Amino acid sequence: MIQQSWFGYIHNKASNYVRFVLCFRYIPQQLTQVNIMAVTAMDLVQNAKAVISEVTVEQAEEMFLNGSLALDVRELVEYDAGHIPHAKHISRGMLEFKIVGYPEFDDLSQSIVVYCKTGGRSALATETLMKLGFSNVNSMLGGFDTWCETHAPSET
């Protein structure tokens, strides 16, 4: 139990007598603590993957051929080192702020395939885009690493 204390007083008007008293109140501990469970980055990724749609590299390639946009959410230095042909770049950390600056993403129903290096950041970015109202957004399983292993070389 946690103790809260303060000074109070009692005033007797008839005798003009004032008595100061120390008051205590006990508060159950569960009411004073906020129960926050710490989570890891991987917990956040797993939680995101539970609510998003993921596509394989092969499915993503087919989607690109049918007009889907590729969104690279890696850091700029990673993007500059190589990326999927015609991919747009917005780092995950700035996604919410910069997506509005790209006319390609004005249509919230536009098909988008989000990717990063291995799939963690893209899962988080896909979840964010869904929260922003995008309705046809997918994360690419395995990310750019898997793309490079199985498909066309990156555009530099």
- 55 and 120 in a single domain? The answer is yes
CATH number for the domain spanning 105: value is 3.40.250.10
Which domain, by its residues, includes 62? 41-150
pLDDT value at residue 12: 57
Rounded to an integer, the average pLDDT of 109-118 is 98
DSSP-derived letter for residue 83 is B
Residue 150: predicted pLDDT: 83
Does residue 119 contact residue 56 with C-beta atoms inside 8 Å? Answer: no
Are 102 and 25 contained in the same domain? no
Q: How confident is the model at residue 105 (pLDDT cuts 50, 70, 90)?
A: very high
Catalytic residues: 116
Residues 58 and 6 in one domain: no
Shared domain for 8 and 51, answered yes or no, is: no
15 pLDDT more than 70: no
137 and 63 part of one domain:
yes
Q: Is residue 53 part of a domain?
A: yes
Q: Are both 48 and 80 inside the same structural domain?
A: yes
pLDDT, tens digit, for every residue of 40-57? 999 999 999 999 999 999
Residue 155 lies in a domain: no
Report yes or no on 67 lying in a domain.
Answer: yes
Enter the pTM of the model: 0.76
Please indicate, yes or no, if residue 95 is contained in any of the structural domains: yes
Q: Is the pLDDT of residue 19 over 80?
A: no
136 exposure class (CB count in 10 Å sphere: 0-12, 13-18, 19+): middle
Is a pLDDT exceeding 60 seen at residue 18?
Answer: no
In a domain, 156, yes or no: no
Q: Are residues 46 and 110 in the same domain?
A: yes
Co-location of 107 and 52 in the same domain: yes
Q: Cα(70)–Cα(64) distance, rounded to whole angstroms?
A: 7
For residues 3 and 137, what is the distance between their CA atoms, to the nearest angstrom? 52
Q: How many domains does the chain have?
A: 2
115 in Cβ contact with 64 (< 8 Å):
no
- Same domain for 68 and 95? yes
Instruction: For residue 62, tell me if it sits in a domain.
Output: yes
Whether residue 87 is found in the same domain as residue 25: no
